[in-house]
Amino acid sequence: MIDRPIGRITSAEDILTELDALAALDPRLLPVIETAGSIPIRRQAEGLRGLCAIVVAQQVSKASADAIFRRLEAEADLDDHDAILALDEGALRRAGLSRPKQATIRELARARAEGTLDFARLASASGRDAIADLVKLRGIGVWTAECYLLFAVGHRDVFPVGDLALQEAVRMVFGLEDRPKPEELSAIAESWAPHRSTAARLFWAYYATRNRRDGTPVG
């Protein structure tokens, strides 16, 4: 996670600049950059729609998440908290949401309606503070909060250490016997600050190239 707001990644040019900085910080990443090839930015919408998309992506494949999200979009305007709150259980079930995710989506809409979910604050706060605010919401864990900051807000220095694809990619790159545990991965990623969001994108791209399967949690 990050401790302060340090600007945003908003373009492919930003990614290239960040990759140069990463390579200078850790030359071991040069072959990773070469293998990974083009690294997409994969920006999500900010606000309720973007956070809902990341909730949908929890613990399912990217293909499943994309299909569920498309069905959910067909049921309601995901930028409108009142429209989400108006959905009945049948509509959420038709979209393919599990009961816990149904509860989380409703919680987000309710918090937005009550003003306790402030997306402008999340965009301007430090990573630590933004994550602390998000994890107060039912169904939002650290991984979800980090992915929202990385993909929707564009924070530069977020590395979701609980992500299995990132753990596996780092294991492959550094020849580790086992996937690093989150605390171990956090220590490894510390050397890539303040460019950890691009490091995460790099390792997701590397994972996709090596495994022929996209492990990035959002499209």
Q: For the chain, which residues make up each domain, given as ranges?
A: 12-42+158-211, 48-153
Q: Tokens in use for 202?
A: 């790099």
Q: How far apart are the first and last CA of the chain?
A: 22
Confirm if 88 and 43 have CB atoms less than 8 A apart: no
- Tokens 């997306």 belong to residue: 119
Span 175-219, pLDDT tens digits: 999 999 999 999 999 999 999 999 999 999 999 999 888 877 776
Torsion sign, CA atoms 122, 126, 127, 129: negative
Report helix, strand or coil for 8: strand
Classify residue 216 by burial, with Cβ atoms within 10 Å: 0-12, 13-18, 19+.
Answer: buried
Q: Which residues contact 8 (CB under 8 A, 6 or more apart)?
A: 14, 153, 154, 155, 156
pLDDT value, residue 114 = 96
Please state the pTM of the whole predicted model: 0.89
Q: What 8-state DSSP symbol labels residue 47?
A: S
pLDDT value, residue 128 = 87
pLDDT value, residue 219 = 61
pLDDT value, residue 53 = 94
User: How would CATH label the architecture of 12-42+158-211?
Assistant: Orthogonal Bundle (1.10)
48-153 is a CATH 1.25.40.10 domain: no
pLDDT value, residue 98 = 95
> Which among 167, 155, 119, 218 is positioned nearest to 1, based on CA atoms?
155
Residues of the chain with pLDDT under 70: 1-6, 219
Angle of the 196-211 helix axis to the 12-25 helix axis, nearest 10: 90
Q: How far apart (Å, rounded) are the C-alpha atoms in residues 183 and 76?
A: 39
